[in-house]
Structures are given as C-alpha cells and as structure tokens.
Structure 1
Amino acid sequence: LVPESYDYVYQKIKNDVCLSSISGGTDIISCFALGSAILPVYRGELQCKGLGMSVEIRDEFGKAVLNQKGELVCTRPFPSMPIYFWNDPNNEKYYNAYFSTYENIWCHGDFVKETENGGLIFYGRSDTVLNPGGVRIGTAEIYRQVEKLDEVLESIVIGQNWQDDVRIVLFVKLAVELQLDEALIQKIKTQIRSNTTPRHVPAKVLQVNDIPRTKSGKIVEIA
C-alpha cells in the first residue's frame, strides 16, 4: 500500500486497526514481508519479514544495506521454496530466475528499502528499475504521483535507451474524452518533479488508449 492508503484507512475506516500490507509471490506460496498483530504499524511500511525468511536488502555490490534501496534477497532456503521447474532438465530457467544476480542467494526481483523500524518499503520490480543518469528509480515512485491526478486513469512507465543514456517515457490513459495537451503534460511533469526529483521527470509523455496487463492484472512494463 502507498502511504496515502494508510491515511485513508485510519481516517475514514478505523483508527485502531492493524493494517498489514504484505508482499510475496505465487512461486514461493508465501510472503517475504508480512504483518504482525504485536508490532506497530508505520505509514507506508510493510511491518516485518516473514517468519523463517532470511530476508536482506542488498546493493549492486552484494552488500546488505539499511535505509537504502536495493534488491530483496533471501539468503537461506525456506520451507516453501520451489526446487525446480518443469521442462527445465538442466535447471537453467530455475537458476536464471532466482540465482543469477547473487550466487546461491535467492533474488526475488523486488526493489525495496529496509527501515530502522524493521519495516520494508517497496518501490516496484527491480527488473523494471529505471536508470536515467545512473540513478536507480523504482517505477512505483512515478506511478504514485501520476495516480494522484484526476485526469489520468492509468499509466505505464518505461526506460528507453537514448543517446548513450536512459530516458523515461510515460504512457497515460486519460479520463473519457480528455486529450493530452501541453498544459496537461506540464501538470504531470510538475506533479512528479515537486514530489520526487528532477531525475524522475519523464522525457516524453504520450497518450494511449489502454495499458497492457497480465491475466492477474499486473502492468506489463518489460514487454
């Protein structure tokens, strides 16, 4: 859940509920980050790591970090861990899916920061992290700002290799009968710049009729 969703729940629904945002995967039949009825809830944070999950956040050099965005990894085996894929006799797909980033360490593909509270903040999939000017940006950081605008129903953001760098391209699906014009483009860019950094601002904003999604409703950024 984004921080604003916490505000909504506590202001509009119930002010003393244990709000547990969680994250895991269908493939592990489990969660790396969970809720707990005996821990405090911090705005925008998943409360704690899953029981029995040796979860760390690692930087690009493989070092465990705190209060810094990085890769969510699990350093030891866990009971619900898949041990092979069907039709993968040499375990190549299995290895490439989880163990190619850090040797013998499960890398889940999430871009995350661990806080001093022991909580976790998710910034999107690490395989869709944008790198304009060498700065790593989670796509969720941009979505969070764009979705605040009433004019935008949905959006999808990608990194495009451009002139020896990466430029951010944002596609938007607008409310019925709205057309993207220069004024709305500037409004979108201002919203992003004011609440993130100039690096987050897309180089191009383009209107589309629809956003591609998987059968489970996830935005298909890589494709």
Structure 2
Amino acid sequence: DLPDHDAFHQWSIDELGTFWSAVWDYCGVIGQPGPRDLINGDVMLHARFFPDASLNFAENLLIKHGPQDALIFRGEDKMSYRWSWDQLHSTVSKLQQAFRAMGIGKGDRMSAMMPNMPETIACMLATASIGAIWSSCSPDFGEQGVLDRFGQIEPGLFITCDAYWYNGKLQDVSD
C-alpha cells in the first residue's frame, strides 16, 4: 500500500516493470504479457514494455456486449444512427468471416478508401481480429493520393464506397 499520490508516482518510476505489469492486470488486458515486462528500462526513451506480449487489439476493444451504444454516427448529410455493442460484434463477425473466405489471414494487408463511419470501424476491427494489417484513407485523398498511399503496401483487398458527402454535396467516386 502506498500512502499518497507522490509515493505512488515514485513507485511507478522506480519500479517501471512492476508498475506496468500491475497496469496490465488492473486493466484486464486480454492476451499474454510474455515473460519480460520491461527491457532497456534504464533510459525511458529506449524502454520497451512487454516485448514478448501477444494480444489482439480488436479482441480488447470488443470486450463489451449488450444493447448499449458502442458507436454513434451523424453524417454530414444529417443521417444519424447508433450501433449497439451487440450490433458491432455481429457486423465485425460477418466481415471477419467474409475476409477469411476471401483468403485474408494474419499478416495480409488490407486497405480502405471510406469515410469516417461505423462501417469503416467495423472493417478495421474485423481486419485486426484476424491479424491482418489495416490502412485507410478518406475518399477526399483523390485518385493519385490513394494510389500513392496504397501502392506502398500493395494490399490484398481494397474496400471502398461509391460516394460520400463533403461540404454539403454528394461526391461520386464510383469511377
């Protein structure tokens, strides 16, 4: 037991590995922290926490279930809707199954040119859940910007929309 905030702060500095192991446990991180909690701890700039850890980003983000709001969306076109945790789980699961059926797996690269909306988030989570790599950009990047960005990673799957709203106008990108 630490008597006050200052003592807690000092302990977190003096015992970096122990502190971050306690944070991992306290936060309920799903995954394996690995045998080492810290390497190169003498210089904070070079410190690496949990270098042997294995966890899934999507699994940790999707820990909640139920009818409560997970995502609240309001588009520029005044369209608005909410996704519950259950709906988000269901959508991510369907996308994950579709991606796997297309042969997408761990380490594969996927890209998306989509607006910031729940469907984009679900695609990202489905990608992360199978261990694939996600890269995205807004449709307003333009054709050359998209080609430059995604040409660097050579994605195995490209997801896009056919139109999006910008500055009060529907922008067609179906070409």
Could you say which structure has the greater relative contact order, defined with CA pairs below 8 angstroms and 6 or more residues apart? Answer: 2
Bigger proportion of residues as helix: 2
* TM-score, reference length from structure 1: 0.21
